[in-house]
Structure 1
Amino acid sequence: MSMHDKTLLPTFAGRSFQVEYEGLSAHNVYSADARSVRYAIVSGPYAGASGEAACQWQQIADDVYVISWQEADGATVVHVDDFTAGHSQAFFTATNLTFYRMQGPLTELAPQESAL
């Protein structure tokens, strides 16, 4: 798949994933067209935050994508997710302007496991 061919859907389209970072865990459910994400922070200081946001993505290597969105409360999120290796790196700016750099495992959720 060409990195520049947006007519093909990314690996994560229509799928749900859990990310586990030190002190924070979240569920991300991507729409079938990969244009939006439903998110829920399930543990950590922002537990209970959830919503849906438009997202943008760019493939940067085989099965590795940069995915970004702005949450309902104004927080911004950028992920670099390797869906083959099961690894996520995230950069998150909270509404109080605290900036987080996080990394950890990325695992697919069965539909009934999602907190959404």
Structure 2
Amino acid sequence: MSDIKFPAIGHTYRADYGELAYRVAFADDGKTLRWAEDKATDFGAIAKTETYQAIPIRPGVFMVTWREADGTTVTHVEDFENNTLHAAITLPDHSFLTLPGKWTRLD
């Protein structure tokens, strides 16, 4: 186990991929997150909850992974020092997306 602390715990971030943007809220439990499209007006009512794993790559950079109920898998490389992220997403139809983005703390 690493003693590098995951800095997102208890905070909300905006993942901005250009035409797509999402809010990601990391719970204080260090195990779950909630996400929804950033343009959603009622985040609390529509956000989906996922169980994630955060693996430190180096201080300030983490690989964060989760699997959604529909079979979608998501991998983020979240760079908290440079406010960037890279997402790799496999959809239920097995199509694959890679998205570079901006990672901004909202609270």
Q: Check whether TM > 0.5.
A: yes
Q: TM-score, normalised by structure 2?
A: 0.84
- The corresponding residue for 1:23 is 19
Is 2:78 aligned against 1:81?
yes
Question: SS of 1:72's equivalent?
Answer: coil
Identity %: 28
Partner Cα separation in structure 2 for residue 27 and residue 11 of structure 1: 16
- The corresponding residue for 1:11 is 7
Is 2:101 aligned against 1:104?
yes
Give the letter for the 1:79 counterpart.
H
Q: Is the 8 A contact 1:9 1:34 kept in 2?
A: no
Gapped regions of structure 2 (runs ≥ 5) = 40-45
Partner Cα separation in structure 1 for residue 70 and residue 33 of structure 2: 15
Give the letter for the 1:101 counterpart.
T
- The corresponding residue for 1:69 is 66
Partner Cα separation in structure 2 for residue 33 and residue 61 of structure 1: 22
- Structure 1 pair 17/75, CA: closer, same or farther in 2 (3 Å)? same
- The corresponding residue for 1:37 is 33
Gapped regions of structure 1 (runs ≥ 5) = 44-48, 111-116
